[in-house]
């Protein structure tokens, strides 16, 4: 039951990523923890989101072993594995190459994404850090992602994209959408002097 549900949620997110313009083609990857087991389901490598079916998904354990599936798992499987292993509060992980998040993360002077409205406070919680660049699929990138995201709901990857997490796939998708909107807004606001940041304290 838990495994089937995790597969259903990953498939749902594949379609949602396209519908919400968070991905196109094969860019990015999605995973979800299997309830009460040290396993997770992840999307295959190099396969268009709109073509992925249940039988294309891969089940991996927390040691990195493939438990089920005939396809090659995502190149970023180690990144998903380490996040899920180190964050027991996280059930779902979405890695996007969405346009505005990637653009902001590639900006020369960007250090972190500021929170500027109540939507950001609610969904993101705090300013979002940017992990330094490392090659796609590398253990260095996986370790940087884990250390930089900390206990937050998202992290930007320098010259790469974003990782968004949640206690459910719906929450992870919401975080990804809000992050994309926030990156777009800050990029535009920087043309007019930047954004005025807010905090939970100033909003209470």
Residue-wise pLDDT for 151-170, tens only, equals: 999 999 999 999 999 999 99
Tokens 């992980």 belong to which residue?
93
* Cα-to-chain-centroid distance, residue 190: 24
Tell me: the pLDDT tens digits for 73-107?
Answer: 999 999 999 999 999 999 999 999 999 999 999 99
Q: Is 197 a catalytic residue?
A: no
CATH superfamily of 2-192: Class II aldolase/adducin N-terminal domain (3.40.225.10)
Is 145 in contact with 162 (CB distance < 8 Å)?
no
Is 156 in contact with 141 (CB distance < 8 Å)?
no
In angstroms, the CA 174 to CA 152 distance is 14
In angstroms, the CA 33 to CA 6 distance is 7
Of 32, 76, 171, 180, the catalytic one is 76
Q: Which two tokens stand for residue 87?
A: 């964050």
pTM to 2 decimal places: 0.94
């Amino acid at each position: 039951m838990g495994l089937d549900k995790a597969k259903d949620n990953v498939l749902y997110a594949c379609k949602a990523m396209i519908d919400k313009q968070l991905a196109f083609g094969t860019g990015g990857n999605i995973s979800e923890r299997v309830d009460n087991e040290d396993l997770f389901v992840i999307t295959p490598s190099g396969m268009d989101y709109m073509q992925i079916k249940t039988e294309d998904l891969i089940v991996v354990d927390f040691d990195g072993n493939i438990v089920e599936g005939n396809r090659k798992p995502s190149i970023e499987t180690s990144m998903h594995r380490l996040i899920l292993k180190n964050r027991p509060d996280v059930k779902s992980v979405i890695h996007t190459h969405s346009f505005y998040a990637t653009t902001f993360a590639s900006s020369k002077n960007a250090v972190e994404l500021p929170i500027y409205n109540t939507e950001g406070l609610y969904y993101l919680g705090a300013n979002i850090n940017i992990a330094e660049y490392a090659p796609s699929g590398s253990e260095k990138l996986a370790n940087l992602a884990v250390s930089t995201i900390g206990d937050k709901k998202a992290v930007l990857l320098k010259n790469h994209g974003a990782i968004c997490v949640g206690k459910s796939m719906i929450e992870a998708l919401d975080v990804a959408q809000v992050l994309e909107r926030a990156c777009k807004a800050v990029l535009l606001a920087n043309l007019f002097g930047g954004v005025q940041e807010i905090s939970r304290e100033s909003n209470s």
